[in-house]
Amino acid sequence: MPKFIVALIIFISFITPSWGDEIRSIDFLLEKASENRSSDADEFNKLMEELKTFESNLSRIQNDEYSYLLAYQMAFRGDFVGAQTIWEQLSVSGQTINIQFKANISLINTMALSKEWNKGLGYLEKNIELMHLITDSELSQLGVSVTSYFYNKIGQYELGLDYATKLDNLFLNGRNLCVAKHQIVESKFYLKKLQLNSADFKTAIDACSIGDEPVWLSAIQIYKARLMLENNDFKSALNVLNSNVEEIERIHYIPIQSLFYALLAKTYQAENDDEKAREFALQAIELTKGMSNTDSEVIAYNVLFQSSVNDSDYESALRYYIKFAEAEKSYFDDLKTKYLAFQLAQHKAVEQKVQIELLNKQNKLLQASQRLAESETENNRLFMALLIMVISLLSLASIRAKQTQKRLKRLAQYDSLTQIFNRGHFTSAAQEAITACQKNQDTISCILFDLDNFKGINDKHGHGCGDWVLKHVASTCDDLKRKQDIFARIGGEEFCVVLSNCNAEMAMNIAEDYRKAIAALDSSPSGYEFPISASFGVTDSQQSDYSLEALTSNADSAMYLAKHTGRNRVCNYADVESAKDADGVMI
């Protein structure tokens, strides 16, 4: 037995160093892979292949680090869904605060790319709460940099610039310095504070070149090219893009590569080289598959549309224009979603702050009451209770007064049946819009429409059915109108829309969309089946001057022309003038 123990000890003494070396080897590989993940894609992939051979021997902490890097590799290759799944697991069940924090950083980054703004803001809030627990200064700096990055992506460039400037003031070097400089360039570009000769470009390019960060360097070159395009300096833009395209293709980071190709397509088209413009536009669209609401897609489809028009290939032009319009709508819908997500997050933050302040005040009041109870008589305690009651009643009265004021204001401005503007508020709002357009010499249009045979609907099916029609017509048109348009019910079955920065031709198209939407309404939910339609009249300030009275009067005349020529149609006031010239009869 002693001989067996001695042999076992000797065996353990031989194998223990090899285990230790393997552990140190794994830690070394993980560290090197983390260092190279954004600076040298080829070396990073080689290190990941080597780490894969040790996968079964990884400790739980090492496995977390390996999983984090594996997810990064997947995201870099365009598999954001798979990467997100791994990072979400690490965010919840990572073995250390650092790995949870790093996973949150990558999730914030990914949410920005996948346009999941509400979720991104949620992970941002988590990291802000964890920030004080992070002792690794470089990781803490990365947390600040991703905060700046996310705020830029959500369109809050002032906040993005503020965080990037704070990061830049920490005397950084390497990757974090490069990221901070890039964020400053990006923020200032969208805030219109960046010029081609700006020192921000040089310092950012130098920082990312020295730090060997090709992904961030390429992104900076994109903003330089975009500024050149804005200044119509197409040759310089082409030179910047072409001199970097080989490196872009080497690193193959899909979001940047697709935008690079889209900008190349736009630049070649400006230089009248439609063949190369089409080539790069198609490549950009191919790369954006799986991505949503990208600037690259909007630019590429617009290039293909213009190129098809230049070739007189109108069938392709129409197809690409539809794609362009859909991509542009998705892009602007995304901008609206960003704004709403940020406003909602702000509202929640304010609400939490108010609740905390209220709890603090309540706590202080309770402490004061307790001290008073210990030192004062029963009469004083009763007085305090009475005082609290009075304050509560005053607060309740104040809240009710504000609610009543808000309710009265809505009653004064909105039609009670359709919940759109009433005639009184419409008049004041429309006059303000007309005055603004006249001051800026912008065209303003007026659409006035009246439901066809509405009296017959009321007489035959009852006023309840008529009210159903009015509400659904108002709701349908309210969904279709532009954000700045002023839409109101100005009479029984008569509605009016005032459209700023819109000429008669555009207004005719919008009115036609309204007409089609109304005609498509299904009346069966009202309990009866009958057709719904409306007749539309359109005019603009070029025909009727900047006068609300003239605009509504002339639109009314055009509407009556529509009524008299068959109903369920759209007529321009110019048609009324033509009718006068033709037969000398006033419609």
Instruction: Kindly state whether residue 147 falls inside one of the protein's structural domains.
Output: no
Nearest alpha-carbon partner for 430 in 551, 539, 558:
551
* Residue 358 pLDDT level (bands cut at 50, 70, 90): very low
Rounded Cα–Cα distance for residues 284 and 324 (Å):
13
**Structural domain boundaries enclosing 63:** 1-135
Q: Which one of 48-62, 90-104, 252-266, 548-562 scores highest in mean pLDDT?
A: 548-562
> Are 337 and 465 members of one domain?
no
> Are 271 and 371 members of one domain?
yes
User: Is it the case that residue 484 has pLDDT exceeding 70?
Assistant: yes
> Are 250 and 277 members of one domain?
yes
Q: Compute the average pLDDT of residues 529-550.
A: 96
* Residue 341 pLDDT level (bands cut at 50, 70, 90): low
Q: Give the pLDDT score at 451.
A: 96
Rounded Cα–Cα distance for residues 468 and 418 (Å):
9
Rounded Cα–Cα distance for residues 281 and 475 (Å):
39
Instruction: Kindly state whether residue 24 falls inside one of the protein's structural domains.
Output: yes
> Are 386 and 434 members of one domain?
no
Q: Give the pLDDT score at 367.
A: 63
Instruction: Kindly state whether residue 33 falls inside one of the protein's structural domains.
Output: yes
Q: Give the pLDDT score at 9.
A: 34
Please name the residue that has the structure tokens 């503020």: 162
391: domain CATH number is 1.25.40.10
pLDDT for 307-331, tens place per residue? 888 888 888 888 888 888 887 777 7
Tally of domains within the chain: 3
> Are 104 and 236 members of one domain?
no
Instruction: Kindly state whether residue 188 falls inside one of the protein's structural domains.
Output: no
> Are 128 and 264 members of one domain?
no
Q: Are 505 and 574 in contact (CB under 8 A)?
A: no
**Order of all β-strands in the sheet with 534-540:** 486-489, 494-500, 444-451, 534-540, 570-572
User: Is it the case that residue 348 has pLDDT exceeding 70?
Assistant: no
pLDDT for 426-463, tens place per residue? 999 999 999 999 999 999 999 999 999 999 999 999 99
> Are 265 and 393 members of one domain?
yes
Q: Mark which of 110, 135, 160 sits at the end of a domain.
A: 135
Q: Give the pLDDT score at 340.
A: 65
Please name the residue that has the structure tokens 């348009």: 485
User: Is it the case that residue 383 has pLDDT exceeding 50?
Assistant: yes
* Residue 345 pLDDT level (bands cut at 50, 70, 90): low
Q: Are 576 and 587 in contact (CB under 8 A)?
A: yes
Q: Give the pLDDT score at 369.
A: 59
Q: Using DSSP bridges, classify how beta strands 486-489 and 444-451 pair: parallel, antiparallel or unpaired.
A: unpaired
> Are 405 and 497 members of one domain?
no
Q: Which one of 158-172, 353-367, 539-553 scores highest in mean pLDDT?
A: 539-553
Rounded Cα–Cα distance for residues 332 and 338 (Å):
10
Q: Mark which of 85, 117, 135 sits at the end of a domain.
A: 135
Q: Compute the average pLDDT of residues 27-55.
A: 84
Tell me the pTM. 0.46
Q: Compute the average pLDDT of residues 345-374.
A: 55
* Residue 411 pLDDT level (bands cut at 50, 70, 90): low
Which residue type sits at 19? W
Beta bridge partners of 540: 445
Q: Mark which of 366, 381, 413 sits at the end of a domain.
A: 413
* Residue 366 pLDDT level (bands cut at 50, 70, 90): low
Instruction: Kindly state whether residue 116 falls inside one of the protein's structural domains.
Output: yes
Question: Which ranges constitute the DSSP H helices of 115-156?
Answer: 117-130, 137-153
Q: Give the pLDDT score at 585.
A: 42
User: Is it the case that residue 487 has pLDDT exceeding 70?
Assistant: yes
Instruction: Kindly state whether residue 171 falls inside one of the protein's structural domains.
Output: no
Q: Give the pLDDT score at 525.
A: 94
Higher pLDDT: 376 or 64? It is 64
Q: Compute the average pLDDT of residues 505-525.
A: 96
Q: Using DSSP bridges, classify how beta strands 494-500 and 444-451 pair: parallel, antiparallel or unpaired.
A: antiparallel
> Are 252 and 387 members of one domain?
yes
> Are 507 and 364 members of one domain?
no
* Residue 587 pLDDT level (bands cut at 50, 70, 90): very low
> Are 433 and 301 members of one domain?
no
Q: Give the pLDDT score at 581.
A: 62
Instruction: Kindly state whether residue 292 falls inside one of the protein's structural domains.
Output: yes
Q: Which one of 191-200, 467-476, 577-586 scores highest in mean pLDDT?
A: 467-476
Nearest alpha-carbon partner for 426 in 570, 553, 559, 548:
548
> Are 234 and 383 members of one domain?
yes
Instruction: Kindly state whether residue 1 falls inside one of the protein's structural domains.
Output: yes
User: Is it the case that residue 39 has pLDDT exceeding 50?
Assistant: yes
Q: Using DSSP bridges, classify how beta strands 570-572 and 444-451 pair: parallel, antiparallel or unpaired.
A: unpaired
Nearest alpha-carbon partner for 145 in 29, 38, 30, 248:
38
* Residue 4 pLDDT level (bands cut at 50, 70, 90): very low
Query: Does the CA dihedral 105-107-112-117 come out positive or negative?
Result: negative
If you average pLDDT over every residue of the chain, what do you get? 82
Q: Compute the average pLDDT of residues 530-540.
A: 97
